[in-house]
Chains A and B, each alone.
Chain A
């Protein structure tokens, strides 16, 4: 139909989903908030901090304040962000929806304003609702680190996955460019639809040259998933996907988000479970990642989880290093602001 013209200049374009937009400096809500250069410097900083004398490191953010706001349960993300902030010397406060005024109906906006008033200079948030970090950033003006929002994104996970891959593939997490992963195929397998990890990785890895192949049954992997960005395709034949992948990322079926969707788990296991036999037959050299939590015996077997191709525990370790770099970046970006406020407050007192 040619009746409609393209929306003309009078209609302001919506904020772009592609490329760094007008984030608060230091915020990372999506992997697309970071340029490739910024990703390189985060990787570099992660290595530097990881190797640094813990006592020196602890002076970097001594007594700075970081809030962890968790509306959804978490083991890895929460603990590693907390350890990361603490090892840089920051004070952390954890607010979870079960033991705070959120239970009494306090809005996200008011919770954010309260945390800011308590001196938080950065908020690390996990939320059930896609897009919630944008609201928190807008309400507080603080740098926000997205620790996973609904089915949207989990950018720090994609960065730690990247660091894990680089370390295993090249021996070190070096600086990256558009071609670093050229020639590599990364398979993401399982419950793509509900996975923020899948989205962040599918957006990030092709920017570094990788091909991403999404694999899973139609209810968990709609056709439109391939349209998320360039360099992403769908192939539902697990074994052929395994055969052409250097990295295989297995995902948990998110039972808590299935929302009435009917799934035959036995059939799923027959077609998509990563067993030791499958791995040996089709991808004996591939690196196997899983963002956790893993359900042994469902998306993968215990042998695979504990086997030599698995990097699950390494991923967790890389998570602390990456998150140190992200927290440092967030607080350094906002460093001057509290200084100004303090100076103003002092002036006020003298007057």
Chain B
């Protein structure tokens, strides 16, 4: 592995509170030095690749704690290789893969299989394992051995754990194993047959709507369980929050000293149910796009710090699956290549969130939520995970140029801010813009 010296860039590292012109030396997959411009002198005989980052931002490689890479089992939608190639193009160096694969990742074998070099991953994949066997919501999986195999959390994502007893047991067992429980908060008893947000728009379109209470009700139930188990210090992480009510519950839980974290997806802080338009299946996901008030609540939660992380919920689907009747089309959109551009455009440019905060929400904070040590940081000794981007460059995203195997995105043709020039994962250049 060649040593890399990146010079002349503006280094923004929320983990060490640095925002200054710095040179950075990457050696043996780790950050070897961070110094004032011109101060780093690599060894005499060392082969060094020099990268000029003048006018560009250097930041910790982005961390996405919620992606669906579809392997094993659904390679026609995405593979670990194509999904992580898309991640690299989007500036991500760590992705956490959800267990709703075929078969469900509920075993140490599958967890290891996903991390094996044969998968051809461009960036680091951290599996999140199923919380219950087959994600059927009944018997717990082996949290200890899953963690030993590399799992960083447990969840039945795509499905909620509805049963109070099972969820309580999951929280308690995961706390002992030192793992967070991630909940897809949806009371499915209230959402059967539903395909978008409940409200006037769903009524007009003749579609059954998911009420916001289906999300907030389950978040409230989970928080109650966390409070009851307080002495065990369970960590509940609420996936893809989409309603103001659920976010308010998280805010209150935290104020009460409970260990509750949450993530928001770019589409939920950016779009509203209006994007469904005339049955656009690329605006169909679960949780669905919500009202303007809920969308604004996501922004407010990001600004006031209630939101711990931006996570994409990257959910690739083949064209033929999305080219179906709206109610039949599967839920989900891709997100790895648009997250940075949309976040910078919407949060930084339009809503004046400081650049360092946007970067933190996309790297340092998500790494902290799932305790990914050495990620989301450019401190010396951290993994040499770096994204280099032009913070001023506006560009247009074209879905057909995506590295993902699937093109199901509502953001085709959208203006993005911040063009990724290079992504470095553990010292290897995994993406370089033309």
Contacts and interface: CB of A to CB of B under 8 A. Distances in A.
A135 B300 contact: no
Contact of B325 (A3, A17, A129, A196): A129
Q: How large is the interface on B (under 10, 10 to 19, 20 to 34, 35 or more residues)?
A: 35 or more
Nearest to A152: B206
B55 interface: no
A3 B350 contact: no
Contacts of B279: 130-131, 134-135
A10 B415 contact: yes
A328 to B, nearest CB: 25
A84 to B, nearest CB: 25
A99 interface: no
A151 interface: yes
B293 interface: yes
B350 A8 contact: yes
A11 B414 contact: yes
B74 interface: no
A228 B345 CA distance: 33
A1 B269 CA distance: 14
Contact of B323 (A17, A139, A196): A139
Interface string A1-37: 1011101101111110100010000000000000000
A121 interface: no
Q: How large is the interface on A (under 10, 10 to 19, 20 to 34, 35 or more residues)?
A: 35 or more
A107 B326 contact: no
B324 A135 contact: yes
A4 B203 contact: no
Contacts of A5: 350-351
A177 B320 CA distance: 43
A265 to B, nearest CB: 22
B299 A4 contact: yes
Contact of B206 (A3, A21, A153): A153
A103 interface: no
A132 interface: yes
Contact of B278 (A3, A15, A196): A15
B193 interface: yes
Contacts of A149: 206
Given A12-B413, A108-B324, A131 B205 contact: yes
Residue from A21, A193, A222 with most neighbouring chain B CB atoms (10 Å): A222
Given A4-B296, A132-B325, A199 B206 contact: yes
Residue from A8, A14, A199, A224 with most neighbouring chain B CB atoms (10 Å): A14
**Which 6 residue pairs spanning A and B have beta carbons closest together?**
A131-B279, A152-B206, A151-B206, A14-B277, A130-B206, A129-B325
